[in-house]
A and B are shown apart, each in its own frame.
Chain A
Amino acid sequence: MNLLRRPWRLAAEASAFLIALVVAFPLYWMVLSAFKPAGEIESSEPRPWTLAPSLDSFRRVFGQQDFGRYFVNSLVVACSVVIVSALIAFLAATAVTRFRFRFRTTLLIMFLVAQMVPVEALTIPLFFQMRDFGLLNTLGSLILPHIAFSLPFAIWMLRGFVKAVPEALEEAAYIDGASRARFLWQILFPLVLPGLVATSVFSFISAWNDFLFAKSFIISDTSQSTLPMALLVFYKPDEPDWGGVMAASTVMTIPVLVFFVLVQRRLVSGLGGAVKD
């Protein structure tokens, strides 16, 4: 699209690079500070580079009791949420797009409204519910609510992808003698997989980011804790161990970054597909 004259386009490109630098700067500073030796982090003249990269902060972080375990816990929570909610949402999205039935519109509106529920407001009843299920201090108390909270958005987003699969394909499959289950899992599922990937980004982030539930539901058994809580061990508002905080932050951010870069194309085209609908 050559809508801009040459000097303007160059200016636009220069500002795009500049903005990219500004946007990436916090992440650069995080990684840089994680590798700075102790004396350099707490310097009143911070330098945008380091002459003596050091792994001390990382050693301190991984030396902290159970940090590796928190990492695994976070991964278990996020992956369970992603997989389970993707499967459930796929079935539900199929139901609301490929069947006509009573209450279909009502259900759709309910899913839409459910997206607006401020989940943080439900911390109190969920706390009692998890206590009654005996799930307090277990990863289950983090996984279950996040599945529920990511579902409405996932269903809403997947709808567009399921809709985009031509109905003729379904008829052809039945004519060829495929069962409904076979059509569902062997034809439809692979076709909407890009949509599922885009959707999973949102459920992954909400579960990986979880701070409030971890803080409220994992109260006495810290071996069931997750990364956000581990990070705050280093962040004491009065005298933060910035090196430790930045190293822990780096460790916590990298898996998400990798995940994002892997699904980047799918994410962009997925959002395009979901919104075109």
Chain B
Amino acid sequence: MTSATHRATRAPWLYLAPALVVLGGLLVYPIYQLGLISLFRYTQAQVSGGEPTTFQGFGNYSALFSDPEFWQVLLATVLFAAGCVASTLAVGCALAVLLTRVRAVPRLALMLAALGAWATPAVTGSTVWLFLFDPDFGPVNRILGLGDHSWTYGRLSAFFLVLLEVVWCSFPFVMVTVYAGIRAVPAEVLEAAALDGASQWRIWRSVLAPMLRPILTVVTIQSVIWDFKVFTQIYVMTNGGGIAGQNLVLNVYAYQQAFASSQYSLGSAIGVVMLLILLAVTLGYLRLLHRQGEEL
């Protein structure tokens, strides 16, 4: 053995066994079941055993796709996620750059504040932000002089309020990761660029951004995944999807279908749609990695 990197034996599979068992049983098998349930008629009657399950083929899907509400929810989900991702990345990157420009004390202050927001559990963050924007007792309306304007009443303003909370609790991950990435860039490179008279924007665009691309890809992908499946914030802050379901996103929609209306197969079909969308994003990401010549 010339290298400590071992040739094929049974050992790697022994090391992998626990992970594969857990992932197989609690991730792969549920995905298979999700697909299966989405092809059957599965409601309360079938769950309690009162009626046999019947094969529906793509019946659930055609029911779903012919329902205008589904398309509306899908569109809202994509737009909402896109808004969250773009804002999170913009805020996170801008503050990461800011962190590199200040001395230790302000840096620590911002870092600690961000860690606090990051550490806040989703349910807690949701209720706190609702309280901040409460029409009767919240400070925000007082500061902005908005009287008793209700943020959760209108469709857009409710989505906007949830977006603020989501950005607040997710920008720290982007900020800290990008900051760690910038710190890994040798100082001489930046100094040389500055000596050559490059502007801040130019340094970011031509020096930092290319070196940070792998990190930026990772944080973008993570943000897409997290924001596309936001559940808790929407559920708590808009009380289960907003007035008349105006603030539903796919996740909450699927939950309502399955557990509130006992339409398990319809809920599963929505789950499959989400899965396929995120799979498409993943494949795009893998292609990107491949094109960048990244070795796995």
Contact = CB atoms under 8 A, between A and B. Distances in A.
A242 to B, nearest CB: 6
Contacts of A88: 18-19, 22
A112 B281 CA distance: 12
A224 B25 CA distance: 23
Contact of B30 (A43, A122, A152): A122
B8 A252 contact: no
B156 interface: no
A109 interface: yes
Interface string A34-47: 00000001111110
Interface string B28-56: 01110110010000000000000000000
A223 interface: no
B139 A29 contact: yes
Interface stretch (B57-65, B67-75, B173-181): B173-181
Contacts of A276: 181, 184
Interface stretch (A51-59, A65-73, A189-197, A228-236): A228-236
B146 interface: no
A62 B129 CA distance: 23
B132 A26 contact: yes
Which 7 residue pairs are nearest across A and B when measured between Cβ atoms?
A121-B271, A272-B180, A148-B26, A125-B33, A170-B4, A95-B15, A92-B19
A253 B125 CA distance: 9
Nearest to A30: B128
Interface residues of B, number: 109
B138 A235 contact: no
Interface string B139-154: 1001000000000000
A92 B16 contact: yes
A129 B32 CA distance: 12
Contact of B113 (A9, A20, A115, A128): A20
A188 to B, nearest CB: 11
Given A48-B139, A113-B279, A16 B27 contact: no
Given A23-B114, A27-B117, A125-B34, 8 more contacts: A13-B103, A92-B15, A121-B271, A125-B31, A125-B37, A149-B26, A209-B232, A268-B111
Given A23-B114, A100-B7, A117-B275, A209 B121 contact: yes
Contact of B102 (A16, A105, A129, A174): A16
A228 B11 contact: no
B231 interface: yes
B180 A98 contact: no
Contacts of A3: 100-101, 190-191, 194, 200, 203
